[in-house]
Structure 1
Amino acid sequence: MKRNLIRHVAGAAMVVLVAGAMLVGCDAKSAGDAQMKFVNVEKALVESGLLKQEQEHLKAVNENLHKGQQLAEKSYTTLPADKVEAARQADRNVLTQQWKAQQQAARNVVMKAMQTTSDAYRTEKKISVIMPTQAAVSIAPELDVTADLTTKLKAVKVDFGKVPEITLKTAPAPEAAKQPAAKTK
Protein backbone atom coordinates (compact mmCIF):
# COMPACT_ATOMS: atom_id res chain seq x y z
CA MET A 1 0.00 0.00 0.00
CA LYS A 2 2.80 2.43 0.96
CA ARG A 3 4.76 1.55 -2.18
CA ASN A 4 1.78 2.26 -4.41
CA LEU A 5 1.22 5.61 -2.69
CA ILE A 6 4.88 6.52 -3.09
CA ARG A 7 4.80 5.53 -6.78
CA HIS A 8 1.67 7.62 -7.41
CA VAL A 9 3.15 10.66 -5.63
CA ALA A 10 6.47 10.27 -7.48
CA GLY A 11 4.64 9.86 -10.79
CA ALA A 12 2.51 12.94 -10.17
CA ALA A 13 5.58 14.95 -9.21
CA MET A 14 7.35 13.90 -12.42
CA VAL A 15 4.33 14.91 -14.53
CA VAL A 16 4.24 18.33 -12.84
CA LEU A 17 7.99 18.84 -13.32
CA VAL A 18 7.90 17.85 -17.00
CA ALA A 19 4.86 20.04 -17.67
CA GLY A 20 6.49 22.95 -15.86
CA ALA A 21 9.71 22.54 -17.81
CA MET A 22 7.78 22.51 -21.07
CA LEU A 23 5.86 25.64 -20.15
CA VAL A 24 9.00 27.48 -19.12
CA GLY A 25 10.72 26.46 -22.33
CA CYS A 26 7.83 27.82 -24.42
CA ASP A 27 8.13 31.29 -22.92
CA ALA A 28 11.94 31.50 -22.83
CA LYS A 29 13.61 34.57 -24.28
CA SER A 30 16.99 34.76 -25.94
CA ALA A 31 19.94 35.87 -23.81
CA GLY A 32 19.83 39.39 -25.31
CA ASP A 33 16.20 39.88 -24.24
CA ALA A 34 16.62 38.56 -20.71
CA GLN A 35 15.10 40.46 -17.85
CA MET A 36 17.68 39.03 -15.48
CA LYS A 37 21.25 40.27 -15.22
CA PHE A 38 24.11 39.22 -12.98
CA VAL A 39 26.75 41.03 -10.92
CA ASN A 40 29.87 39.74 -9.25
CA VAL A 41 29.21 41.46 -5.92
CA GLU A 42 32.67 40.91 -4.45
CA LYS A 43 34.44 42.19 -7.57
CA ALA A 44 32.16 45.25 -7.77
CA LEU A 45 32.72 46.11 -4.10
CA VAL A 46 36.49 45.73 -4.36
CA GLU A 47 36.99 47.53 -7.68
CA SER A 48 34.58 50.35 -6.82
CA GLY A 49 36.44 51.22 -3.63
CA LEU A 50 33.51 50.55 -1.28
CA LEU A 51 35.45 47.86 0.57
CA LYS A 52 38.38 50.25 0.91
CA GLN A 53 36.04 52.82 2.48
CA GLU A 54 34.77 50.13 4.84
CA GLN A 55 38.32 49.12 5.78
CA GLU A 56 39.33 52.73 6.45
CA HIS A 57 36.32 53.21 8.71
CA LEU A 58 37.01 49.97 10.57
CA LYS A 59 40.65 50.97 10.99
CA ALA A 60 39.53 54.18 12.73
CA VAL A 61 37.08 52.16 14.86
CA ASN A 62 39.84 49.71 15.81
CA GLU A 63 42.17 52.57 16.78
CA ASN A 64 39.50 54.06 19.07
CA LEU A 65 38.76 50.68 20.61
CA HIS A 66 42.48 50.19 21.22
CA LYS A 67 42.65 53.62 22.88
CA GLY A 68 39.71 52.58 25.02
CA GLN A 69 41.55 49.42 26.05
CA GLN A 70 44.59 51.48 27.01
CA LEU A 71 42.40 53.87 28.99
CA ALA A 72 40.85 50.93 30.80
CA GLU A 73 44.28 49.48 31.57
CA LYS A 74 45.25 52.74 33.30
CA SER A 75 42.17 52.56 35.48
CA TYR A 76 43.13 49.12 36.81
CA THR A 77 45.84 50.69 38.96
CA THR A 78 43.15 51.99 41.32
CA LEU A 79 41.46 48.60 41.67
CA PRO A 80 42.24 45.98 44.31
CA ALA A 81 44.55 43.28 42.91
CA ASP A 82 41.87 40.58 43.12
CA LYS A 83 39.47 42.62 40.94
CA VAL A 84 41.88 43.54 38.11
CA GLU A 85 41.55 40.34 36.05
CA ALA A 86 37.74 40.35 36.25
CA ALA A 87 37.64 44.00 35.19
CA ARG A 88 40.10 43.35 32.37
CA GLN A 89 38.00 40.43 31.07
CA ALA A 90 34.78 42.44 31.31
CA ASP A 91 36.36 45.28 29.37
CA ARG A 92 37.67 42.87 26.70
CA ASN A 93 34.19 41.41 26.32
CA VAL A 94 32.63 44.86 25.88
CA LEU A 95 35.27 45.91 23.35
CA THR A 96 34.92 42.64 21.42
CA GLN A 97 31.15 43.07 21.24
CA GLN A 98 31.58 46.66 20.11
CA TRP A 99 34.08 45.59 17.42
CA LYS A 100 31.73 42.91 16.07
CA ALA A 101 28.80 45.33 16.08
CA GLN A 102 30.84 47.96 14.23
CA GLN A 103 32.01 45.43 11.64
CA GLN A 104 28.43 44.30 10.99
CA ALA A 105 27.14 47.87 10.86
CA ALA A 106 29.84 48.86 8.36
CA ARG A 107 29.07 45.86 6.15
CA ASN A 108 25.36 46.71 6.29
CA VAL A 109 26.11 50.26 5.11
CA VAL A 110 28.21 48.96 2.21
CA MET A 111 25.59 46.41 1.18
CA LYS A 112 22.86 49.06 1.40
CA ALA A 113 24.89 51.25 -0.98
CA MET A 114 25.24 48.25 -3.32
CA GLN A 115 21.50 47.60 -3.18
CA THR A 116 20.53 51.25 -3.73
CA THR A 117 22.88 51.58 -6.71
CA SER A 118 21.71 48.26 -8.15
CA ASP A 119 18.06 49.27 -7.75
CA ALA A 120 18.66 52.54 -9.59
CA TYR A 121 20.56 50.75 -12.36
CA ARG A 122 17.87 48.06 -12.63
CA THR A 123 15.14 50.68 -12.93
CA GLU A 124 17.12 52.76 -15.43
CA LYS A 125 17.84 49.75 -17.68
CA LYS A 126 14.35 48.22 -17.19
CA ILE A 127 15.74 44.99 -15.79
CA SER A 128 13.52 42.78 -13.66
CA VAL A 129 16.20 41.17 -11.48
CA ILE A 130 19.90 41.52 -10.80
CA MET A 131 21.33 38.40 -9.20
CA PRO A 132 24.80 37.70 -7.81
CA THR A 133 26.96 35.64 -10.18
CA GLN A 134 27.60 33.29 -7.27
CA ALA A 135 23.96 32.13 -7.61
CA ALA A 136 24.45 30.92 -11.20
CA VAL A 137 26.29 27.96 -12.62
CA SER A 138 26.86 29.56 -16.01
CA ILE A 139 26.21 33.06 -17.33
CA ALA A 140 26.26 34.46 -20.83
CA PRO A 141 28.80 37.32 -20.87
CA GLU A 142 26.23 39.84 -22.09
CA LEU A 143 24.18 39.24 -18.93
CA ASP A 144 27.02 40.32 -16.60
CA VAL A 145 26.58 43.94 -15.49
CA THR A 146 29.49 43.95 -13.02
CA ALA A 147 31.49 46.56 -14.99
CA ASP A 148 28.51 48.94 -15.26
CA LEU A 149 27.63 48.69 -11.57
CA THR A 150 31.29 49.04 -10.57
CA THR A 151 31.48 52.30 -12.51
CA LYS A 152 28.36 53.61 -10.79
CA LEU A 153 29.59 52.48 -7.35
CA LYS A 154 32.88 54.37 -7.78
CA ALA A 155 30.90 57.61 -7.36
CA VAL A 156 29.32 56.45 -4.09
CA LYS A 157 30.69 57.86 -0.83
CA VAL A 158 29.21 55.90 2.05
CA ASP A 159 28.51 57.41 5.47
CA PHE A 160 29.35 54.99 8.26
CA GLY A 161 28.35 57.42 10.96
CA LYS A 162 30.46 58.54 13.87
CA VAL A 163 33.38 56.42 15.05
CA PRO A 164 32.56 55.27 18.59
CA GLU A 165 34.42 56.96 21.41
CA ILE A 166 35.32 54.85 24.43
CA THR A 167 35.01 56.47 27.85
CA LEU A 168 35.24 55.13 31.35
CA LYS A 169 32.49 55.33 33.89
CA THR A 170 33.68 57.41 36.78
CA ALA A 171 32.80 56.60 40.36
CA PRO A 172 31.11 59.37 42.35
CA ALA A 173 33.37 61.47 44.51
CA PRO A 174 33.64 60.20 48.10
CA GLU A 175 31.90 63.31 49.49
CA ALA A 176 29.01 62.96 47.09
CA ALA A 177 28.61 59.29 47.93
CA LYS A 178 28.12 60.10 51.64
CA GLN A 179 25.44 62.75 51.04
CA PRO A 180 21.82 61.58 50.78
CA ALA A 181 20.24 61.70 47.33
CA ALA A 182 18.11 64.74 46.58
CA LYS A 183 14.41 64.15 46.88
CA THR A 184 11.86 65.45 44.43
CA LYS A 185 8.32 66.35 45.26
Structure 2
Amino acid sequence: MASRRTLTIGAAVAGILAALLVAGYWLTADLLIDASPPPPAETRAEAPAENPQLHCLLIGYTGEPRLALLFDIHQVGSDLRYEQRQLVEIRGSQRTVKEPPFPDWRLDTSAEPARLDSEISVFDNSAAGSHTETITIELYDYRPDKSNKEWIESGLKSIHYQNLSGNCQQSRPVTQVSTRE
Protein backbone atom coordinates (compact mmCIF):
# COMPACT_ATOMS: atom_id res chain seq x y z
CA MET A 1 0.00 0.00 0.00
CA ALA A 2 2.88 2.38 0.78
CA SER A 3 4.43 1.71 -2.61
CA ARG A 4 1.13 2.46 -4.35
CA ARG A 5 0.86 5.76 -2.46
CA THR A 6 4.48 6.63 -3.39
CA LEU A 7 3.73 5.83 -7.02
CA THR A 8 0.61 8.02 -6.95
CA ILE A 9 2.47 10.94 -5.34
CA GLY A 10 5.32 10.57 -7.84
CA ALA A 11 2.91 10.60 -10.77
CA ALA A 12 1.16 13.70 -9.38
CA VAL A 13 4.47 15.56 -8.93
CA ALA A 14 5.59 14.57 -12.45
CA GLY A 15 2.26 15.80 -13.85
CA ILE A 16 2.57 19.15 -12.07
CA LEU A 17 6.15 19.60 -13.31
CA ALA A 18 5.12 18.75 -16.86
CA ALA A 19 2.26 21.28 -16.68
CA LEU A 20 4.65 23.98 -15.41
CA LEU A 21 7.14 23.25 -18.20
CA VAL A 22 4.45 23.46 -20.88
CA ALA A 23 3.09 26.72 -19.43
CA GLY A 24 6.60 28.16 -19.26
CA TYR A 25 7.26 27.18 -22.87
CA TRP A 26 4.06 28.85 -24.06
CA LEU A 27 4.83 32.03 -22.10
CA THR A 28 8.38 32.33 -23.44
CA ALA A 29 7.22 31.53 -26.98
CA ASP A 30 4.67 34.37 -26.75
CA LEU A 31 7.35 36.75 -25.47
CA LEU A 32 9.73 35.78 -28.27
CA ILE A 33 7.06 36.34 -30.91
CA ASP A 34 6.23 39.78 -29.46
CA ALA A 35 9.91 40.79 -29.25
CA SER A 36 10.94 43.58 -31.58
CA PRO A 37 13.38 42.76 -34.38
CA PRO A 38 17.04 43.80 -33.97
CA PRO A 39 17.93 47.29 -35.18
CA PRO A 40 19.28 47.66 -38.72
CA ALA A 41 23.00 46.92 -39.12
CA GLU A 42 23.94 50.59 -39.64
CA THR A 43 22.64 51.60 -36.18
CA ARG A 44 24.53 48.92 -34.26
CA ALA A 45 27.64 49.88 -32.33
CA GLU A 46 30.86 48.87 -34.08
CA ALA A 47 33.08 48.53 -31.04
CA PRO A 48 32.30 46.63 -27.83
CA ALA A 49 31.51 48.76 -24.79
CA GLU A 50 34.31 47.32 -22.67
CA ASN A 51 37.98 47.69 -23.47
CA PRO A 52 40.11 44.56 -23.68
CA GLN A 53 42.05 43.86 -20.49
CA LEU A 54 45.44 42.30 -19.83
CA HIS A 55 45.78 40.42 -16.53
CA CYS A 56 49.23 39.38 -15.31
CA LEU A 57 49.98 37.08 -12.39
CA LEU A 58 53.64 36.96 -11.39
CA ILE A 59 55.11 34.24 -9.21
CA GLY A 60 57.74 34.62 -6.46
CA TYR A 61 60.73 32.35 -5.93
CA THR A 62 58.65 30.19 -3.53
CA GLY A 63 56.28 29.27 -6.37
CA GLU A 64 53.38 31.25 -4.92
CA PRO A 65 51.72 34.32 -6.47
CA ARG A 66 53.59 37.53 -5.60
CA LEU A 67 52.10 40.26 -7.80
CA ALA A 68 48.89 40.71 -9.82
CA LEU A 69 48.40 43.52 -12.35
CA LEU A 70 45.37 44.47 -14.42
CA PHE A 71 45.48 46.78 -17.45
CA ASP A 72 42.77 48.29 -19.67
CA ILE A 73 43.89 48.49 -23.30
CA HIS A 74 42.85 51.59 -25.29
CA GLN A 75 43.75 52.65 -28.80
CA VAL A 76 44.99 56.24 -29.03
CA GLY A 77 45.57 57.11 -32.67
CA SER A 78 47.59 54.24 -34.07
CA ASP A 79 49.17 53.39 -30.69
CA LEU A 80 47.89 51.18 -27.90
CA ARG A 81 47.74 52.59 -24.39
CA TYR A 82 47.92 50.25 -21.40
CA GLU A 83 46.19 51.89 -18.44
CA GLN A 84 46.95 50.14 -15.17
CA ARG A 85 43.73 49.52 -13.22
CA GLN A 86 44.96 47.42 -10.32
CA LEU A 87 48.09 46.28 -8.52
CA VAL A 88 47.93 43.65 -5.78
CA GLU A 89 51.03 42.66 -3.82
CA ILE A 90 50.70 39.16 -2.37
CA ARG A 91 52.76 37.84 0.54
CA GLY A 92 51.43 34.52 1.76
CA SER A 93 47.89 35.12 3.00
CA GLN A 94 48.35 38.92 3.03
CA ARG A 95 47.16 40.98 0.08
CA THR A 96 47.92 44.67 -0.34
CA VAL A 97 45.86 46.46 -2.98
CA LYS A 98 47.73 49.53 -4.18
CA GLU A 99 45.77 52.70 -4.88
CA PRO A 100 46.07 54.96 -7.95
CA PRO A 101 47.77 56.95 -9.34
CA PHE A 102 49.50 54.26 -11.36
CA PRO A 103 52.38 54.87 -13.78
CA ASP A 104 52.01 55.20 -17.55
CA TRP A 105 52.97 52.06 -19.49
CA ARG A 106 54.33 51.84 -23.05
CA LEU A 107 54.16 48.75 -25.26
CA ASP A 108 57.15 47.93 -27.47
CA THR A 109 56.52 45.11 -29.95
CA SER A 110 59.60 45.79 -32.09
CA ALA A 111 61.43 42.79 -30.61
CA GLU A 112 60.54 39.43 -29.09
CA PRO A 113 59.49 39.36 -26.32
CA ALA A 114 57.12 42.35 -26.44
CA ARG A 115 57.73 44.71 -23.53
CA LEU A 116 55.50 46.84 -21.34
CA ASP A 117 57.78 49.51 -19.84
CA SER A 118 57.20 52.06 -17.11
CA GLU A 119 58.86 53.85 -14.22
CA ILE A 120 57.81 53.59 -10.60
CA SER A 121 58.58 55.70 -7.56
CA VAL A 122 60.16 53.61 -4.79
CA PHE A 123 60.48 54.82 -1.19
CA ASP A 124 63.99 54.75 0.28
CA ASN A 125 66.09 56.22 3.11
CA SER A 126 67.59 59.05 1.05
CA ALA A 127 67.01 62.72 1.79
CA ALA A 128 64.48 62.84 -1.05
CA GLY A 129 62.59 59.88 0.44
CA SER A 130 62.17 58.08 -2.88
CA HIS A 131 63.74 57.39 -6.24
CA THR A 132 62.49 56.38 -9.69
CA GLU A 133 63.31 53.02 -11.21
CA THR A 134 62.43 51.22 -14.43
CA ILE A 135 59.97 48.32 -14.42
CA THR A 136 59.36 46.04 -17.41
CA ILE A 137 56.94 43.21 -18.12
CA GLU A 138 58.16 40.94 -20.92
CA LEU A 139 55.34 39.22 -22.85
CA TYR A 140 56.39 36.17 -24.89
CA ASP A 141 54.45 35.45 -28.12
CA TYR A 142 52.14 38.39 -27.36
CA ARG A 143 50.08 39.89 -30.18
CA PRO A 144 47.45 42.40 -28.96
CA ASP A 145 45.30 42.02 -32.09
CA LYS A 146 45.19 38.21 -31.86
CA SER A 147 43.31 36.00 -29.46
CA ASN A 148 45.30 35.70 -26.23
CA LYS A 149 42.69 33.74 -24.27
CA GLU A 150 45.34 31.25 -23.21
CA TRP A 151 47.88 32.27 -20.58
CA ILE A 152 51.13 33.44 -22.16
CA GLU A 153 54.53 33.39 -20.53
CA SER A 154 55.70 36.66 -19.00
CA GLY A 155 58.47 37.98 -16.80
CA LEU A 156 58.86 41.06 -14.61
CA LYS A 157 62.18 42.89 -14.58
CA SER A 158 62.37 45.13 -11.51
CA ILE A 159 64.83 45.85 -8.73
CA HIS A 160 62.02 46.74 -6.30
CA TYR A 161 59.86 43.66 -6.92
CA GLN A 162 62.80 41.47 -7.94
CA ASN A 163 62.72 39.50 -11.17
CA LEU A 164 59.55 37.43 -11.27
CA SER A 165 58.23 34.94 -13.80
CA GLY A 166 54.56 34.45 -14.48
CA ASN A 167 51.74 34.48 -16.99
CA CYS A 168 49.45 37.02 -18.60
CA GLN A 169 46.07 36.66 -20.28
CA GLN A 170 44.18 39.12 -22.48
CA SER A 171 40.37 39.20 -22.26
CA ARG A 172 39.87 39.53 -26.04
CA PRO A 173 41.73 40.79 -29.13
CA VAL A 174 42.26 44.51 -29.60
CA THR A 175 40.27 45.82 -32.55
CA GLN A 176 42.63 48.03 -34.52
CA VAL A 177 40.79 51.11 -35.76
CA SER A 178 42.27 52.71 -38.85
CA THR A 179 42.96 56.44 -38.47
CA ARG A 180 43.41 57.02 -42.23
CA GLU A 181 40.68 58.77 -44.20
TM-score greater than 0.5 by the shorter chain: no
* Bigger proportion of residues as strand: 2
Structure with higher RCO (Cα < 8 A, 6+ apart): 1
Say which structure is richer in helix: 1
TM (norm. structure 1) is 0.29
Which has the higher Rg, Structure 1 or Structure 2?
Answer: 1
